[in-house]
Each structure stands twice: as C-alpha cells, then as structure tokens.
C-alpha cells in the first residue's frame, strides 16, 4: 500500500475552508487531519512536500536575459534516491520523499538594490586583487582587467543581510528555499570584489583557509543562517569554479569543455560566453547546483544503515595506526574527538553520540602491509585481488579482521569505525594527497568503513584528522558533497567535470561536506536534508515493524508502546508539515523506538525490511576518495 502525505499548503487550504466547521466540532478533530495520520501498519508512505523556490534577482534588469531560457531548466520536483547502490545498478531503499517545487520569481526594486549595494560597499575591506583575479587579467582574451583595490566582503554577513531583508520584497525565506542572483556590475557604485569567510580555524592545525588562501575567495554562499544561497557573477573571478580561465574551455585536456559560468562582463559579444546564454546558465545553476546539491539533494548512502537500536548509541571509533615512527607526536595528537562528537551531535541530536580512539604504535604487520598494498608500494597478494584493484585492500583487510580492532560495544550501539593512518609522504605512495574516504561494502553500496590519512606534510597545508573524520563520517551517515549529486528528473548522477564542471559552486555553502575548509559544521542545508531523510525513513521503518506487532496474538499487551509511537508519529508529521525538520526527525525516531520496544517484547525482529535485490551489477562504482584540492593554494 502506498500513501502520499500532502503538503502544508494543501493542509492549510483544507483547514481554512473548514474553519467554520471547526467552531462546532471538538478540537480532537485537528489531530485526525489527513496530513498527520500517525503510523500506518505495513504501509510505505511517500511524504510529499510543496517546496517554494524563490529566485530573487538583485542588480539584474528584466531583459538582461530570456527568462524562458532559465525556466526551461527548472524541474517540477525531486524525489531523492540513495545514490551509491545506483552505481551498481541496484535500487536503494525507497526514501519515501517527494518534493514538488513552486517557483516564485522576484526582481528587487531600486530601494532594495541601493540599500544592498550600499551595505556591500560598507562592509568591503579594500585589498589587492587575488592571484586568480591577476591570472584572469593575464588571459589573452579577457574583456577587461580587474583593478585594485578589490573589496573583500564577508560572505555570511551578506547572506544574513539578504535573508533578513527579503521580506521587503515579499519573499518568505522560512518555509522554502531562496537563491539571490546578484549583479553589481554596471552600477555606478560597482567595485571589483570577492567574498570571504575567515572565522573558522582548523581544530588541529589552527590553519585559517579562508584567510590564507586565494583559492578560498569565493562568489557564492549560503546555509550559515537559513535556507538561502546567493550567487554573484559580478564577483571574482575566482579559483573554485575556475571562472578566471577564459582562454581555454577544456581545463583537463580530455577534449570536453569544462563548462563554467564566467564573470558577468564576459557575457558579451566577443566575450567568453554568448550573452544569449545567460538565462540558460542561471537555470543550470538553479537546478544542477542549488536544487540538486544544496536544497533537496540525494544521500550518498542510506542514512538508516547507521541507525542504533532503541537505547543504543552512535559511536565513532577511531583506530589510529602510527606509521610515522620518526616523530615524537602521534596521529591522535591531531584528532580532536570533542570536536568530532560535537559536530555530529549537532547534525543528529536525537542520538546519543560517543567517540573512542585506540592508538596502534607501531601498527601490526598486517595493517602495515595493507597500507603498503593500498599505496602501491608493496606488490603483494592480498584480499584485494578478488576485487581487481589495490584500492579494495583497506576494505577487505579490515572487514576480515574487524574483531581484532573493534570490539566490546553493546549490540545496540551502531559503531562507525574509522581506520586512520598517520603516515609520511613516502609511505602513502600512489595515494599521496588522499585525505580519506567513506567506503562501501563493494557489493551493493552499503556503507562499510571510514579511512583517513594524516601526515606532517598535510598539516603544513592546514589539514589534520578531525575535519576529515567528521567529513567522512558525514558521508558514512548518508550525506553527499555539495559538489556532486543526482538529478531526479533526468535520472543522472554527476560531479564537477566536463558539462557540469560548474557544480564546484555548490562547495560555496556552509557545510563540512564541502572541500573549501571554511567551516567545521553541518550547515542548514545538511541539517534540513538529514532530518527529512530520518523523518521519512523512521516512520516507514516503524510502519513495517508495526505490521508484525498488530498481527501478533499478544498485541494488546504492548498497546501502550503503540499508542505512544502513534502520538510521536503525528507530532513528527505536524513538524514536517511546518518545516520544523529537527523535531520531525526526533519524533519519527521516537515513534520507531516505541514500536521497536513493542516488537522486542513480542519477540519480533526489528530488522529493516530490505527490498529484494538481485545483485547484477551493471555499473562500476566510482572508487575515489577525498583529495586535497588546490594543494598549492
Ligand atoms: Zn568527501
């Protein structure tokens, strides 16, 4: 049985038309609203939500581009999938979510624009142009030269100003997502500018990427304060989307253009881009960056896999292998478990999180050999051979010997195991530059173990173990990067390469899943999405287990649990409808826990009902970790 829960707007409409009737019926009728029906034994429910997407143009004039070219790219909706199983050609768990978009297009009025650009001017700190603006000037075909001084503008402050002034344009930023397309160029008060975020220090190294690196001076930002993201093609040019490079369309030499949006002044006759392409380009950014990667993205892994049993904890257990014997300090000196626990607890506060570390100094011979094989320094037989690549050696070794490293946790805990090597450049061999990866089980895209690497040479570049650990456990619990993802209507998975090279722009958002290193937290977009995944997942899981409970001859003995679960489910559904996703996730988890307790009392399994999978892999999953981008800057 499939059921669709309708959106808030629908419910509001019904409720307002019933307002007269409600005056004469008992208030309990409210709790029986169709949009919060509680649990439904055995049903797989798709929770549908109407999602307003506001496109606000600030500094653009109507007529600067053809709005229909933009609209042609806008999807009607989005149904998230679990991405990794799809790489094997198998369907992941049905996420039970469907978003239906309603687009609102707003042109900022003069008063708003004057105030906004005044504000930008007032917070801009003058400085010399960045290396990448200078590189742009050095291009042969650039249409103008950036001139000093350049304004350095705090990105989160800009985000906040736009969000808190949106009401002046009748744009509602709370229950919906908003993109501000900014264009300062052409106004008399224009100055060359770039955005910054400089308030985050790496917890292990104290390194400030936002301050120190020209490659971290950006043109877009959002997700620090709310559900908004701004994108300014009159800023930069910048490094991260390589839009300074206007002489050579093909950046990696593979014969395909690496499609990127140049600075706004390059949309001109003789510029890098045909001015007629502007509408299409803003549509591409709306769909393939903002919607697919930030607002309603698909998870990399099934977030329910890392679910503890009722009363169980989520544990991050780090096995640190000390392979830099020449040093007094060890890898665990650059792993801040309080930071790891705090950030993950902030993402999923409805779990009890715990962390632990175990220092292997020196590593056992098998762990050392595994590193040697993985880094292609040792040519040896190993368990990797059945997978055909030495990249599998980490997974298969630690999978086969798991109990030798991680043990002693109660059965109800979910343990995310992180195998970390503190190494040297020489010992990392062919994998030099790799920070970590969240591997799957090499069968069907189920998350398995996390691997992380650290070295003095990495620390010299700003990287310790803590950020990497949070990032990789973020993957393990489900989250994708903000620079790769899935397009629901086209059924296409993509990353920042070739025609979708501009997807790098998604990294310019508040998320530790970004490669920019500008934040240690899971921002608003991560929180919204994780909470919605958990909400729909736990309610459907509870529905599955509940079917067994109600069919049991002693079902009446656990009725109190079922009633409590039902109440929690209704509260969760109300919260979901009101865009209070944190509460929605928390109460959905509570509903599941109550049903699971009832099931355990009756001796019924609480295992997730896994859809029948015929393992006939049709694709080769990408096996690549998280590298250091821009090691030189
Ligand atoms: Zn990653």
Q: What tens digit of pLDDT does each residue of 10-22 get?
A: 333 333 333 333 3
Phi, psi of 67, deg, nearest 5: -60, -30
What's the CA-to-centroid distance between 149 and ligand 1, angstroms? 36
Of the candidates 503, 529, 527, 60, which has an alpha carbon nearest to the alpha carbon of residue 290?
503
Q: What are the distances in angstroms from CA 87 to CA 300, 449, 575?
A: 10, 18, 33
What's the CA-to-centroid distance between 475 and ligand 1, angstroms? 7
In sequence order, the β-bridge partners of residue 221 are 230
The pLDDT of residue 3 is above 50: no
State which H helix or E strand residue 436 sits in.
strand 434-440
pLDDT at 607: 72
What's the CA-to-centroid distance between 430 and ligand 1, angstroms? 19
Q: Kindly state the average pLDDT of the residues 573-580.
A: 98
What's the CA-to-centroid distance between 428 and ligand 1, angstroms? 19
Higher pLDDT, 325 or 365: 365
Of the candidates 565, 535, 478, which has an alpha carbon nearest to the alpha carbon of residue 45?
535
pLDDT at 7: 35
State which H helix or E strand residue 360 sits in.
strand 353-360
Cis, bond preceding 362 (omega within 30 deg of 0): yes
Whether 302 and 91 have beta carbons less than 8 Å apart is answered as: no
What's the CA-to-centroid distance between 126 and ligand 1, angstroms? 34
What's the CA-to-centroid distance between 246 and ligand 1, angstroms? 29
How many C-beta neighbours within 10 Å does residue 482 have? 30
pLDDT at 622: 73
In which region does residue 368 sit, left (phi positive, over 0), alpha (psi from -120 to 50) or beta (all else)? alpha
CA dihedral 364, 368, 374, 375 (to 10 degrees): 160
What string of DSSP letters covers 469-490? Answer: HHHHHHHHTTPPPTT-EEETTT
pLDDT at 631: 85
- Three-state SS at 57: strand
Of the candidates 6, 28, 13, which has an alpha carbon nearest to the alpha carbon of residue 567?
28
In whole angstroms, give the CA distance from residue 267 to residue 317. Answer: 51
What's the CA-to-centroid distance between 170 and ligand 1, angstroms? 37
Confidence band, pLDDT 50/70/90 cuts, at residue 621: confident
pLDDT at 618: 54
Query: Which distant-in-sequence residues (6+ apart) come within 8 Å of 257 by Cβ?
Result: 249, 250, 498, 499
What's the CA-to-centroid distance between 117 and ligand 1, angstroms? 35
Q: How many CA atoms lie within 13 A of 252 on its CB side?
A: 10
What's the CA-to-centroid distance between 9 and ligand 1, angstroms? 36
pLDDT at 619: 61
What's the CA-to-centroid distance between 568 and ligand 1, angstroms? 34
Mean confidence (pLDDT) of the chain? 92
What's the CA-to-centroid distance between 513 and ligand 1, angstroms? 6
What's the CA-to-centroid distance between 439 and ligand 1, angstroms? 10
The pLDDT of residue 9 is above 50: no
The pLDDT of residue 613 is above 60: no
pLDDT at 617: 47
Report pLDDT digits (tens) over 156-169: 999 999 999 999 99
Tokens 């001017």: give the residue.
121
Confidence band, pLDDT 50/70/90 cuts, at residue 6: very low
What's the CA-to-centroid distance between 481 and ligand 1, angstroms? 6
Q: Kindly state the average pLDDT of the residues 319-344.
A: 93
Count of residues in the chain: 633
What's the CA-to-centroid distance between 462 and ligand 1, angstroms? 17
The pLDDT of residue 284 is above 80: yes
Least confident window among 30-44, 202-216, 277-291? 30-44
Q: Kindly state the average pLDDT of the residues 572-576.
A: 98
Whether 594 and 539 have beta carbons less than 8 Å apart is answered as: no
What's the CA-to-centroid distance between 626 and ligand 1, angstroms? 5
What's the CA-to-centroid distance between 139 and ligand 1, angstroms? 32
Tell me, what DSSP letter sits at residue 398? Answer: H
In the chain, what percentage of residues exceed pLDDT 90?
89
Q: Kindly state the average pLDDT of the residues 611-618.
A: 43
Q: Kindly state the average pLDDT of the residues 475-499.
A: 97
Q: Kindly state the average pLDDT of the residues 59-88.
A: 97
Beta-strand (E) ranges in 186-335?
193-196, 220-222, 228-232, 314-322
The pLDDT of residue 615 is above 50: no
Confidence band, pLDDT 50/70/90 cuts, at residue 484: very high
What's the CA-to-centroid distance between 137 and ligand 1, angstroms? 33
CA dihedral 223, 224, 228, 229 (to 10 degrees): -70
Higher pLDDT, 617 or 205: 205
Whether 106 and 623 have beta carbons less than 8 Å apart is answered as: no
What's the CA-to-centroid distance between 503 and ligand 1, angstroms? 15
The pLDDT of residue 376 is above 70: yes
The pLDDT of residue 405 is above 50: yes
What's the CA-to-centroid distance between 64 and ligand 1, angstroms? 37
The pLDDT of residue 184 is above 70: yes
Query: Which distant-in-sequence residues (6+ apart) come within 8 Å of 379 by Cβ?
Result: none
What's the CA-to-centroid distance between 437 and ligand 1, angstroms? 6
pLDDT at 142: 98
What's the CA-to-centroid distance between 494 and ligand 1, angstroms? 14
What's the CA-to-centroid distance between 15 and ligand 1, angstroms? 44
pLDDT at 33: 56
Query: Radius of gyration over alpha carbons of the chain, in Å?
Result: 26
The pLDDT of residue 379 is above 60: yes
pTM of the shown model = 0.93
State which H helix or E strand residue 439 sits in.
strand 434-440
The pLDDT of residue 350 is above 60: yes
Confidence band, pLDDT 50/70/90 cuts, at residue 605: confident
What's the CA-to-centroid distance between 12 and ligand 1, angstroms? 40
The pLDDT of residue 474 is above 80: yes
Tell me, what DSSP letter sits at residue 299? Answer: P
Q: Kindly state the average pLDDT of the residues 509-529.
A: 98
pLDDT at 623: 79
Report pLDDT digits (tens) over 215-239: 999 999 999 999 999 999 999 999 9
pLDDT at 314: 97
């Amino acid at each position: 049985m499939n059921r669709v829960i309708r959106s808030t707007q629908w419910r509001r409409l019904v409720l307002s038309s019933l307002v007269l009737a409600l005056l004469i019926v008992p208030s309990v009728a409210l709790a029986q609203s169709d949009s919060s029906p509680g649990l439904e034994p055995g049903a797989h429910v798709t929770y549908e939500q109407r999602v307003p997407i506001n496109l606000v143009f600030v500094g653009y004039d109507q007529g600067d581009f053809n709005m229909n070219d933009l609209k042609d790219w806008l999807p009607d909706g989005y149904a998230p999938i679990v991405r990794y199983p799809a790489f094997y050609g198998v369907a992941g768990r049905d996420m039970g979510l469907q978003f239906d978009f309603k687009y609102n297009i707003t042109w900022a009025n003069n008063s708003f624009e004057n105030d906004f650009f005044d504000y930008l001017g007032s917070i801009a700190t003058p400085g010399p142009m960045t290396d990448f603006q200078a590189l742009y000037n050095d291009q042969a075909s650039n249409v103008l030269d950036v001139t000093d001084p350049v304004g350095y503008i705090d990105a989160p402050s800009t985000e906040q100003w736009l969000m808190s002034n949106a009401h002046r344009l009748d744009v509602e930023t709370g229950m919906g997502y908003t993109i501000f397309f900014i264009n300062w160029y052409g106004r008399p008060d224009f100055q060359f500018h770039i955005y910054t975020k400089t308030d985050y220090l790496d917890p292990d190294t104290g390194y400030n990427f936002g301050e120190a690196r020209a490659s971290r001076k950006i043109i877009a930002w959002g997700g620090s304060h709310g559900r908004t993201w701004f994108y300014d093609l009159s800023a930069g040019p910048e490094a991260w989307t390589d839009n300074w490079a206007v002489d050579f369309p093909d950046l990696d030499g593979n014969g395909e253009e690496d499609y990127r949006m140049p600075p706004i002044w390059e949309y001109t006759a003789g510029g890098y881009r045909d001015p007629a392409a502007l509408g299409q380009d803003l549509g591409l950014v709306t769909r393939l960056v903002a919607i697919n990667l930030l607002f309603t993205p698909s998870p990399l892994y099934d977030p329910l896999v890392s679910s503890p049993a009722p009363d169980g904890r989520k544990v991050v257990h780090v096995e640190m292998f000390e392979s830099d014997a020449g040093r007094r300090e060890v890898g665990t000196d650059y792993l801040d478990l309080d930071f790891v626990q705090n950030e993950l607890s902030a993402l999923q506060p409805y779990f009890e999180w715990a962390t632990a570390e175990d220092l292997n100094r020196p590593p056992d011979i098998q762990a050392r050999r595994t590193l040697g094989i993985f880094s292609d320094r040792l040519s040896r037989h190993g368990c990797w051979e059945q997978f055909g690549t030495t990249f599998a050696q980490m997974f298969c070794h630690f999978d086969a010997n798991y109990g030798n490293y991680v043990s002693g946790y109660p059965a109800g805990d979910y343990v995310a195991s992180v195998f970390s090597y503190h190494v040297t450049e020489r010992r990392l061999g062919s994998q030099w530059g790799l920070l970590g990866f969240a591997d799957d089980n090499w069968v069907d895209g189920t998350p398995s173990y996390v691997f992380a690497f650290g070295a003095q040479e990495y620390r010299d570049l700003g990287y310790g173990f803590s950020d990497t650990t949070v990032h990789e456990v973020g993957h393990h619990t489900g989250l994708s990067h903000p620079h790769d993802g899935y397009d629901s209507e086209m059924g296409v998975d993509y990353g920042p390469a070739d025609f979708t090279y501009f997807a790098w722009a998604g990294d310019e958002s508040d998320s530790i899943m970004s490669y920019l290193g500008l934040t240690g937290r899971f921002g608003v977009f991560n929180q919204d999405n994780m909470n919605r995944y958990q909400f729909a997942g736990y309610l459907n899981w509870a529905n599955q287990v509940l079917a067994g409970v109600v069919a049991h001859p002693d079902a009446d003995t656990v009725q109190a649990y079922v009633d409590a679960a039902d109440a929690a489910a209704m509260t969760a559904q109300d919260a979901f409808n009101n865009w209070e996703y944190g509460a929605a996730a928390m109460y959905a988890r509570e509903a599941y826990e109550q049903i699971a307790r009832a099931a355990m009392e009756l001796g019924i399994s609480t295992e997730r009902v896994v859809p029948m999978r015929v393992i006939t892999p049709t694709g080769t999953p990408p096996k690549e970790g998280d590298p250091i981008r821009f090691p030189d800057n």
